[in-house]
Structure 1
Amino acid sequence: MENTAKQNEALAGEQKFRRIFEDSMDGLILWNDEYQIVDINYSGERIFGLSKDRLFGKPLLDLFNSVEEKKQEIMNHIEQAMQIGKQCSTIVIEMIDGTVKHFDYSTKRRIVDGLNLTVIIDVTEKAKMQEQLRKSDRLNIVGELAAGIAHEIRNPMTALKGFIQLLKPSIKAEHSMYYDVITSELARIDSIINEFLILAKPQEIRYQEKDVCQIMRETVDLLSAQAVLYNVQFYTEYEDSLPFVYCEPNQLKKVFINLIKNAIEVMPSGGQITIMINKTEEQNIQICIQDEGMGIPKDKIIKLGEPFYTTKEKGTGLGLMVSYRIIEEHNGTIQVESEEGKGTLFKIMLPLNHYIKS
């Protein structure tokens, strides 16, 4: 009787462990001292997109066949865990579908005889939130500095522009080029100051129901002369009878100008800019602006929109930063897709509703 009671108690404990193992929100992997997978729970199967039947008895590193370059890093983690008993690490993996995932993982040696446990936690959302907080901190700092910087620069700028205008009648023909360079550079400084002021102080915003296609048409007309100078052609395709979007039209136009000017400037030898606007099944208006420039490396795409980060030799990064903020205030998103040597696609999503962030 006593043996039977002990057996029942052991069976109940095993079943309890099995329920905890299978129902855990984290990925759990059991493996032996030969680095062979003994068991994996449902969350682990979901993380790696592989079934338990396919993994049973296979080498532990088979879980990471899609990321060969990470195998040595993972092997180092396992070996350290086997030496000191426990090890914790973090890893970033690009999945098969192209998404980037962040994982915390820890390994405990010999949780029972001959078995080791690795716990994998998907912390992608946490990593995204931390990155957003870092960006927000940088934006706040820029906003605090912007007003003071703009004020200090604008005062001498006003004097410089005034005296340059007074000197214009006395400038000889052979020196006219110098005058043009000075005035164009002063205009460039002035545009940078304006970008600072947009970040530094709240703008008066009046949201209205507007036709996004019409705003885009006006933007393309405005930039047509610059496009001709760069030998750039526009190809536009707007879906018919699109619903109006509740927006601030001047701010949207500013975003379109920034993105299209960038597209023109990355094609100094000419090319085509494709602009498409359509409605999606998710009740968004989608605006796509695609160039045929040299493209942007993957490691640089994620930095776009950060203060002072730019891929242009003479850029400040403020134009894209302001554009991201404007679209965010419209409850929209900007996504960037790029392939080196083939160009870049900016995809703006604007929701078809009347709720706007205050």
Structure 2
Amino acid sequence: MEKKELKDTLHLGNSEDSEQKYRRIFECSMDGLLLWDNDHRIIDVNRAGEKMIGIPKERLIGHRVYEPHTILEKRKQEILKHIDQVLEKGQTCSTVIFKDEEGNSRYFDCSSQLDILGGINFTIFKDISEKIEIEEQLRKSATLNVIGELAAGIAHEIRNPMTALKGFIQLLEEIITKEHPMYYQVITSELTRIDSIINEFLILAKPHATRFQENDLNKIMKETVDLLSAQAVLHNVQFVTDIDSKLPLVFCEPNQLKKVFINIIKNAIEVMPLGGNITITTKMLEGKRVQVSIQDEGAGISSEKIKKLGDPFFTTKAGGTGLGLMVSYRIVNDHQGSITIESEEGRGTTFFIRLPLDLNEKKETL
């Protein structure tokens, strides 16, 4: 064999070996790896990326990088912005939000490089959804702890004069109702409202006299829906339920969870003045967790306002106090669960309440 032929043969062998090595590295990487062309179409994706996206490789290759991961125009524009930055700067890093096939938002840290080989572009991505959720829980938890301490002091300071006022109003009931019955009704109604706000303050401070036991979450939700059905009818609102009948029992305090469901469903009814559907779903999640989702067909909430929901005294309702959602966050936090909110302006809002089947440290306060 001539020297040139031998050299060519050795070069071919090394090339094949290198290709196999790169393929193994590509497929075995723990990060998601994506190859795409200048027409934004996916050329290849590794196993980790396929698993993170949650869609088989066969359905990804040939599609543009924003299909079929998202059905929302806003999400598509976020991905296109990332692509434009890659084409302009040659490389870029950003956090991109996708929608999975169940409609849940997934957050990915993406780092992309332009033209790594003959018109092929390269993206490394990592699913940081759990990290984002934990950070949000920690932020809400820290806020609730501070507000809880403040709420306890305020509630106790207001309750004492309130008790005196209610007592004197009852003594004067006969006189006032004879001369000014409407005034009496307004006074007693407002005192009841103040008392309700005080109770919410006390729950923020710390739920008390609660007993955590195994309970049927579907039963709790059914009782809540029955309780609010009359209000729903008045607002031309229908409940659509998709209940997992095989849902296991959840270690919880039923009355506290019912308060959470009431707060969220009442808000959903109020944001649909012309009526519509409220879709309630329960299902099992991985990691021994259950999820309750409550979806309305209201006007939706901007991303800026979503970040503030649950913050002290922030509300999107005229005349609201913002305490209802704060209380809900406190209760779910005490159940070692989480509340996440997804919304698109003009498309409605969905609340996701996720709860563990069993608490790390079982609670039972008599």
TM, length-normalised to structure 1? 0.67
Task: After TM superposition, give the deviation of residue 178 of structure 1 in Å.
Answer: 1.1
How far apart, CA to CA, are the structure 2 residues paired with 1:19 and 1:61? Answer: 26
Task: After TM superposition, give the deviation of residue 101 of structure 1 in Å.
Answer: 1.5
Number of the residue aligned with 1:125: 130
Aligned-residue sequence identity (percent) comes to: 53
Aligned length: 351
1:154 and 2:164 equivalent? no
How far apart, CA to CA, are the structure 2 residues paired with 1:222 and 1:121? Answer: 44
Task: After TM superposition, give the deviation of residue 121 of structure 1 in Å.
Answer: 2.0
* Structure 2: gaps (5+ residues): none
Cα 1:136–1:34 change in 2 (3 A) is same
Cα 1:131–1:183 change in 2 (3 A) is same
How far apart, CA to CA, are the structure 1 residues paired with 2:40 and 2:355? Answer: 49
1:297 and 2:288 equivalent? no
Number of the residue aligned with 2:57: 51
How far apart, CA to CA, are the structure 1 residues paired with 2:31 and 2:73? Answer: 23
How far apart, CA to CA, are the structure 1 residues paired with 2:347 and 2:39? Answer: 46
Task: After TM superposition, give the deviation of residue 267 of structure 1 in Å.
Answer: 8.8
Number of the residue aligned with 1:306: 310
Whether contact under 8 Å (1:90, 1:104) holds in the other structure is yes
Whether contact under 8 Å (1:230, 1:268) holds in the other structure is no
* Structure 1: gaps (5+ residues): none
Q: Deviations over 1:85-128 (max 9, x none)?
A: 32111122233432221122111234456543112222222222
Matches within 5 A, 1:1-358: 3=7, 8-32=13-37, 37-46=42-51, 47=53, 49=55, 51=57, 55=61, 66-112=71-117, 114-171=119-176, 173-207=178-212, 248=253, 251=256, 254=259, 295=298, 297=300, 306-307=310-311, 308=313, 312-323=317-328, 325-326=330-331, 329=334, 357-358=362-363
How far apart, CA to CA, are the structure 2 residues paired with 1:134 and 1:151? Answer: 26
TM, length-normalised to structure 2? 0.66
Q: Deviations over 1:129-149 (max 9, x none)?
A: 222222212211221211122
How far apart, CA to CA, are the structure 1 residues paired with 2:210 and 2:45? Answer: 54
Cα 1:216–1:342 change in 2 (3 A) is same
Q: Secondary structure at the match of 1:155?
A: helix
Cα 1:268–1:49 change in 2 (3 A) is closer
How far apart, CA to CA, are the structure 2 residues paired with 1:60 and 1:262? Answer: 37
How far apart, CA to CA, are the structure 1 residues paired with 2:235 and 2:50? Answer: 53
Q: Deviations over 1:290-328 (max 9, x none)?
A: 9xx965737699779824455654333434543554456
Cα 1:90–1:159 change in 2 (3 A) is same
Task: After TM superposition, give the deviation of residue 335 of structure 1 in Å.
Answer: 9.2
Q: Secondary structure at the match of 1:203?
A: coil
Give the RMSD, CA atoms, in angstroms. Answer: 5.5
Which one-letter code corresponds to 2:88 in the other structure? Q
How far apart, CA to CA, are the structure 2 residues paired with 1:67 and 1:140? Answer: 36
